[in-house]
Structure 1
């Protein structure tokens, strides 16, 4: 059996219990060495074969999985964050399916979740943003039509931008071309949840300068939107005047009913 396991954003204790259990049982571990915290390998057995996929091709990864299956061994393919987000997962699954090899997927904590924790923010605030756009700048891998940064910026929603730290001047241009103002609050989160985590608050207009002054040119997420500001409205979910299936409204409890910051 082949298990695709999300390693989490970096901190060793942010892998899921299921993911940790599978690492402890694995005969073969193929991990993304350029991204996954190597301390996670402390969970594997001494006799486990460990392969770093950073220097491997897709074909080499599949061949290693096939060898393990032929020898009745269990493989963990350890992806950074959650495998479904920029994980090059689909191509592996399609080949394994075509070869009749069984696999499953263990979700992980994505770095975009760890980044929100790092800045102590909520992406979805009433009257501010109720949508989160996860995207990246166009680089060597093209971006489909109508999915450019400027296209998404036009919505004014919360944006979490992966794989773009080395293109921040261009990112600034795209964001403002799409409709964000240069003063829109932003943050650069370097290695969210790792011991060396850094959080840099800035504005869209100073993204590149802020990263340059801090010496950050990779392994960071860019957060953009007014969710990083100070204004928002109270959620209706816990409002005393709001009824739902678990609670009836009680207008007498109005201490914070008009709360708006």
Structure 2
């Protein structure tokens, strides 16, 4: 009887040790991720301190100054080598004048260690772009006019061009739903897929870089003398913006 009791005790100890090992292994194999966004113009850092003072030249040759850049991205997703996808809740609204908006930590941010690539939606997709649905965006005056399809802006980029002349002019590079004709609209979000591999070995912060100059040059060289304002009701301009945003983002440093 004592032998049987001893065997039972030993068996319980082994099972407990195995469970502890599995639990520890599970904890070791999971990492928390966050994202930080940096912004530049062909390598010149742009942030709240110089946004409104830096003079830059676009691909078409116009010298421009910037007064406001705000943008929206959503549906952050990390995809591993096996094709398994980890979708994070929430969306990110960034205002370059407010550096507290440069960072994004999803509420559900725990993933297994491994190799990943990042993808996200520029703006909102059709399911998320619901008119008036987000109180914080409403209070930021981020709504896209109902007569142009409703929902929300994806980008507000404002400034002046030809600032090296005696007759500078304003531009309003605003992006959102594309209006085809009266009452006919076309979704205009973009899927941003960044192919740079991201190796996660511990809790990690992923830097995502925005090269602002790309809005004006790839694949469409933007002539502000022709396309300055108003661009929101201009279908062709909206589709050109959708094409140009595909080259704006890249992966920077991974801190862990």
Interval of TM-score (by shorter of Structure 1 and Structure 2): under 0.3
TM-score by length of 2: 0.22
Of Structure 1 and Structure 2, the greater helix share is in 1
TM-score by length of 1: 0.22
Of Structure 1 and Structure 2, the greater strand share is in 2
Work out which structure has the larger RCO, using CA pairs closer than 8 Å and 6 or more positions apart in sequence: 2
